[in-house]
Amino acid sequence: MNNDAPEAGHVKLERMSDFFSKRLDGYEEHMLTDSGKKAYKKLAALVPSNTARILDLGCGTGLELDEIFKRLPSVSVVGIDMTQAMLDKLKQKHLDKDIQLICGNYFNVDLGENTFDTAISFQSMHHFSYVEKVGLYTKIRKALKSNGVYIECDYMVTEQSIEDELYAENARLRLDMNIPQGKFYHFDTPCTVDNQIAMLKQAGFSSADPVFRMENTTIIVAKK
């Protein structure tokens, strides 16, 4: 399991933006573990070479973009994240790049239709429910051009029992704290690889295939 997975009974949930703002110092070092470095490089290598415009969901400080710009220095990027401090750091690293940054909830941001060649997300989707993800994946698919791809790198588990336990604990904590539906608080609720693929196909992607796995870090490529 992810070393950051909370232990039952010892957690007070934090708002998503607050959680990441507090951890900005040291965030990149934390993410750039051996498996993280390899995953960032692998994701960048999977971006089609003819990509002109990328949508990055949960872009954070742009560690995945650091690698993508090495391959595609002139690519145009729209990045969305809930934490302004992380977006500020990303912008400072890439002042010379064509980047539009949006601080907000990407479930509500209008992604358009037939706009992007490639969409990506890195270690972002394991914070959300099935219903939220299927709805978002449907929006992502519509936002992609006809031959577009969505590349997701995320924390995924292999056992259904682990997924069920974490979802149940998240629900318990939210109930204890009287957190209403639609409010985003940080808690890891990873799905199994099979369930993740099923959600992407439910959203209308023609295919969704795992192409990389190291520890619990998994990359899936979904084609429109």
CATH number of the domain to which 219 belongs: 3.40.50.150
Interhelix angle 193-202/130-143, rounded to 10 degrees, is 50
Q: Looking at the domain assignment, is residue 159 inside a domain?
A: no
Which tokens belong to 56? 């990055």
pLDDT of the residue at 21: 75
Q: Looking at the domain assignment, is residue 61 inside a domain?
A: yes
Q: Looking at the domain assignment, is residue 62 inside a domain?
A: yes
pLDDT value at 5 more than 70: no
Vertex 196, ends 105 and 143: CA angle to 5°?
Answer: 45
Which tokens belong to 88? 């500020």
Identity of the highest mean pLDDT range in 16-25, 42-51, 174-183? 42-51
DSSP secondary structure letter of residue 222? E
pLDDT of the residue at 182: 80
pTM: 0.89
The whole domain housing 60 covers 17-150+179-223
Residue pair 199/130 in contact by the 8 Å Cβ criterion: yes
Q: Looking at the domain assignment, is residue 168 inside a domain?
A: no
pLDDT value at 10 more than 70: no
Q: How many CB atoms lie within 10 A of CB 62?
A: 27
Q: How many domains does the chain have?
A: 1
